Every structure is written in C-alpha cells, then in structure tokens.
Amino acid sequence: MLSVANLSVEALSRGSRPRPVLIDVRTEAETRGGIIPGARCLPLHLLPNELDRLRALVGDHRELVVYCQSGARSAQACRFLQSQGIERCSNLEGGVMAWLQSGRRLSADTEQASLVAEGGT
C-alpha cells in the first residue's frame, strides 16, 4: 500500500509558494455547509474522471492537498492519485473537523469551486 503524507492545518495555513491546489473530496451535500477557502470541490467518486484536469492544475511544481470531513476519504484519494502518477499529494490531517477545531472558518462560496467538468462527468 502506498504511503500518504499528512499535512497539518497549521502547516497548510503557513502556506508555501507556489500555493498548493486544495481539493475537497466530500459530497455535494457536505460541501453545501462550506469549504476551506480557496478549495476546489471534486467528490471522491468522480476523481477518476478528472485526472487530466488535476494534472493540469498541479503542473510540475504545485502540490495537491486533499481533504474530506475527517481525513479518511482524502487519504484514500491520495493513494489513488499516487497510483495514477500524481505523487505530490498530501492529506489534510483531520480534514474539515481539524480546520474548524483550529478556529478557522469555512467559505460559503462553493458554486464557483466545482472542479467537475461541464457536461456532467
């Protein structure tokens, strides 16, 4: 089994350059409650359909940081992405729960954050 790198909320908040691509793999129903600011929404079950789009977003220099509610699904997503050749991928440790517990807020602006290709992939 592939090893998944975990990134803490604090480490993500400190930031790095270039800024990592932040992907929320929760369901649409879950993201209605808000997303981490700057994140793009891509439900876990649609990940295989959007690999080319993810590769284009990451390019050669950006890291992909994936999160869900608690970190379990995003760890699964990271393993899948690594198996598909996207190696610069980290799991946000504790997911949205850790984000909120650290006193940070979610953004309600989820409509423009969808990464799912137009045409309903």
Question: Rounded distance, CA 20 to CA 113, Å?
Answer: 15
pLDDT tens per residue, range 92-115: 999 999 999 999 999 987 776 887
> Which residues share a beta bridge with 40?
23
Per the listing, tokens 């909120």 go with 100
Is 68 one of the catalytic residues? yes
SS3 67: strand
pLDDT tens per residue, range 8-65: 999 998 877 778 999 999 999 999 999 999 999 999 999 999 999 999 988 888 899 9
Annotated domain spans of the chain = 5-107
Whole-model pTM: value is: 0.90
The active-site residue out of 41, 68, 78, 89 is: 68
Answer whether the bond into residue 18 is a cis peptide, omega within 30°: yes
> Which residues share a beta bridge with 35?
107
Considering the domain delimited by 5-107, tell me its CATH architecture.
3-Layer(aba) Sandwich (3.40)
